[in-house]
Structure 1
Amino acid sequence: MTTTVTSGGLGASGIDATYKKVALRLIPYIFVCYLFNYLDRVNVGFAKLQMLDDLGLSETAYGLGAGIFFLGYVAFGVPSNLMLHRFGARRWIALIMVLWGLLSTSLLFVRSAESFYVLRFLTGAAEAGFFPGIVLYLTKWFPSARRGGVMALFMSAIPLSGVLGGPFSGWILGHFTDGQAGMHAWQWLFLLQGLPTVVLGIGILAVLSNGIDDARFLSSDEKAALKQALVEDDKNRPKTVSDSFAAVLRNKGVWALGVIYFSIQSGVYMINFWLPSIIKASGQTDPALVGWLSAIPYLAASVFMLYVGRSADRHRERRLHLAIPMLMGVGGLMVAANFSASPTIALIGLTIATMGALTGLPMFWPISGGYLSPTAMAGGLALINSIGQIAGFVSPYMVGWIKDTTQSTDTALYILAAIILVGVVLVLRIPGKLVNR
């Protein structure tokens, strides 16, 4: 269902065309930026296949290094988003992209567990404002009824990063095997996947505008129509929302949203950081083949994510469109754990889990709008995101410790399935009138 605002002389077809123009202007570029954001965050999952032996790191040390990224992310999430709100999206997002691109590239200089931990923490701190900042930025353009599809389109960069990043990472690890320029293949991986982020960050200054008023590609009538749509959307907002950041901190519903997001991210980060290792453990030793096989779950997830996003907007229903994908995550992880000895069935289970967990991400964010007023949006979104991102530390570290202790990831898969199930229960307890818009 679409908005029918006619401000500035635009009819329903005119406003639809305007939103299409905005989406074509903004989404492709920030989609590519988010693709590299996610790739830079999780490419240690592929680097692990070689760097652990080169550096003499244990599985637990890898899990801690993969997860410590999120301690920096959580610590700087709220401050970074408040800085974006103060200084504007264009300059702040450009700055943090250049910074995290340089830090991610610098991982090629890692020589010990300690340097791995420090660089991962700093990279997480630099990245912290990007995703919640983009979510906040999109709320300045699109009303609630249009955000499901837009968020799904934007966040399909996550599975696509797996579709493209898996084969690309596998190719790098397989191609740079003879120490070109005196570097190991995993060092080339960080170099070739980190520097493009720096270039994209500089490009932000030319592509993005801070908001509707600064958009030179829109006419005055189009700007008026977009702003009126946001005004009407705010009028229809339930009255039980938080009106300030202090109120956000006291709102039990917001903390429940953080727990739900934590449960979703627990499954997502297990898949991101451990999928290549699980595939390799099934008997596949060729890095290129591991890369191609790891792309299968992400390809399925990218298609499913777009379908569910459009369905949620069309039916204006949010809870079941989030709960059902999360249940798929639960079932898929349990299948992968039960049939770990069968590579084909285990991969099917991981594919179902990836489809569910990754689709849960864009379906989650439109729900948060029911709790947050525009004045509390910047801090509230960052708080929810920070709570959820704690899973990025807990999940990989737990999996690494269990893998070292039991020589298997099966127990970890069961635990993560249970965590996601708790999130499903909380989703179903949210009042439908608060989020089904």
Structure 2
Amino acid sequence: MTTVIPRKRWAYVIPVAVVMYMLAYLDRTNVAVILPYIGSDFPLSASAKGLASGIFFLGYLVLQIPAAVLAAKWSARKTVVLLMILWALAAVLCGLVRTETQLHLARLLLGLFEGGVWPAVLILLASWFPQAERARANALWMSCLPISAILMSPLSGFMLDHMSWRWVFVLQGLPPLLWAIVWWFTVADRPSQARWISREERDHLETTLAAEEAAKPSVAKQGYRQALRNRSVLLLIGVYFFWITGFYGFSLWLPSVVKTMTGGSATAVGFLSAIPYVLALVAMLGCALWSDRTGNRRLAITVPLLVAIAGLLLGNLAHWPPVVQFVLLCVVAAGVYMPYGPFWAVPSQVLGIEVVAVAMGVINALGNLGGFAGPYLVGWLTDVTGAATTGFVVLAAFLAVAAALAYFGLRPGSRAEEVIDVPAAADHS
């Protein structure tokens, strides 16, 4: 008779992490809703608005690797709670600025302190969920991204209709200080440290994770320097950079597009901006489930990006009624969110635990340069051409490069097979 293994990890680890990063994502993206409503007392050009959105990602680079190493060698739990407190203070500062330079500096600090959270949590999840569950675990945690947009875009819009933009920044920066307490008393770094886990679940996880680590090829267990020079890691950096350029260029400018389409109030823009993310959430979880069942990470990454490309091009190269444009925005939102779970299951599948923390930090740090490039590119092209159409077409081209790299660089095999194409995985240079 098959023993039923308890699954409390899904109820204890994922929800707390979801709320934590939902608050981080709110403090990161609320600028997209707020900037169009900054008054004449704080005038900003389209380029300056794009810089305010994108400069976050320059700060985001700095702590990627240090925080990943701290999470792996010291404690993911302690690393995240420290960063949570610091980013909350930086988010509040965004509402206290008096000049354009101060706004850019506050956003830079926000990116600096949020930067280490992503790889630290991925390291945490890798200690709790085996490979057969990894894409679903990643996607459930990363569901905080669309959930944040679903809940917080209407909230930001409502708040903007009833208070100044400064108070919106300040009040939305305070919740992480409270959630840091919940995180501290709930989260454990690994099963052996959790009080709520049963002996059966702990033994199952430790045995399964140890077996997966032992089964990895020798290339997965090489040193930091060799792993970071390996073509597998370089491929993932390339995919992520071009994907995130398109992703943030689209998502950070979505409220402005919706405002242009509707001419409505901030509350109406907030509610309409949330709708595409509802579809994105469902599609994201469905894609992760399919990816775990089949082990085919390649199609789970490539096909959604192609869907997003089609939506961006159709929406910007032809004149459609507002309803059709909005439907296409929903399609693009689903396409750029769906690859998250499968993509972040790849590094821990091909790299040993000794080096995966650093590799994830590098992939996320360099890939998120696209988070700076996308918003700023759209803003600059809008100033130059007088319309955002050219910018969105360029973003579609970035997504196309990401899709090509993923399709030709990843293998379509089952979970038992290598994810990275053989020549890349065999590269020790």
- TM-superposed CA distance for 1:14, in Å, is 2.5
Deviating runs (4+, > 4 A) in structure 1? none
Structure 2 partner of 1:259: 238
Are positions 1:193 and 2:200 aligned together?
Answer: no
Structure 2 partner of 1:117: 104
Are positions 1:396 and 2:375 aligned together?
Answer: yes
> Would the alpha carbon gap of residues 271 and 165 (structure 1) be closer, same or farther in structure 2, given more than 3 Å must change?
farther
Structure 2 partner of 1:374: 353
Are positions 1:226 and 2:213 aligned together?
Answer: no
Normalised to the residue count of structure 2, the TM-score between the two structures is 0.93
User: What stretches of structure 2 of length at least 5 have no aligned partner?
Assistant: 421-429
1:221 & 1:153 partners in 2: Cα distance? 23
- TM-superposed CA distance for 1:341, in Å, is 5.5
Amino acid at match of 1:78: I
Size of the aligned set, in residue pairs, is: 415
Structure 2 partner of 1:158: 145
2:95 & 2:342 partners in 1: Cα distance? 35
Are positions 1:136 and 2:123 aligned together?
Answer: yes
Structure 1 partner of 2:411: 431
SS of 2:254's partner is helix
Structure 1 partner of 2:182: 203
For residues 320-361 of structure 1, the C-alpha deviation after alignment (integer angstroms, 9 at most, x for no partner) is 111111111111111221245532222111111110101122
Q: CA-atom RMSD, angstroms?
A: 1.6
Amino acid at match of 1:128: G
- TM-superposed CA distance for 1:428, in Å, is 1.2
SS of 1:380's partner is helix
- TM-superposed CA distance for 1:431, in Å, is 3.0
- TM-superposed CA distance for 1:202, in Å, is 2.5
2:323 & 2:218 partners in 1: Cα distance? 50
2:52 & 2:227 partners in 1: Cα distance? 31
2:212 & 2:237 partners in 1: Cα distance? 24
For residues 352-411 of structure 1, the C-alpha deviation after alignment (integer angstroms, 9 at most, x for no partner) is 111010112222111222331110011011000111110111111111111111121111
2:143 & 2:114 partners in 1: Cα distance? 19
User: What stretches of structure 1 of length at least 5 have no aligned partner?
Assistant: 1-10, 177-183
Structure 2 partner of 1:172: 159
For residues 275-326 of structure 1, the C-alpha deviation after alignment (integer angstroms, 9 at most, x for no partner) is 0001111242311111111011101101111111111112222111111111
Contact 2:287-2:338 within 8 A present in 1 as well: yes
Are positions 1:247 and 2:226 aligned together?
Answer: yes
Contact 2:221-2:351 within 8 A present in 1 as well: yes
Work out which of the residue numbers 278, 284, 309 in structure 2 matches 1:305. Answer: 284
2:368 & 2:2 partners in 1: Cα distance? 39
- TM-superposed CA distance for 1:424, in Å, is 0.9
Are positions 1:84 and 2:77 aligned together?
Answer: no
Amino acid at match of 1:212: P
Stretch of structure 1 that moved more, 78-87 or 41-50:
78-87
Contact 2:79-2:120 within 8 A present in 1 as well: no
> Would the alpha carbon gap of residues 294 and 253 (structure 1) be closer, same or farther in structure 2, given more than 3 Å must change?
same
Contact 1:336-1:348 within 8 A present in 2 as well: no
SS of 2:252's partner is helix
- TM-superposed CA distance for 1:146, in Å, is 0.6
Give % identity.
Answer: 33
Structure 2 partner of 1:14: 4
Contact 2:309-2:400 within 8 A present in 1 as well: yes
Q: Within 5 Å, give how 1:319-334 maps onto structure 2.
A: 319-334=298-313
- TM-superposed CA distance for 1:12, in Å, is 4.8
Structure 1 partner of 2:60: 73
For residues 157-177 of structure 1, the C-alpha deviation after alignment (integer angstroms, 9 at most, x for no partner) is 11111111111111011122x
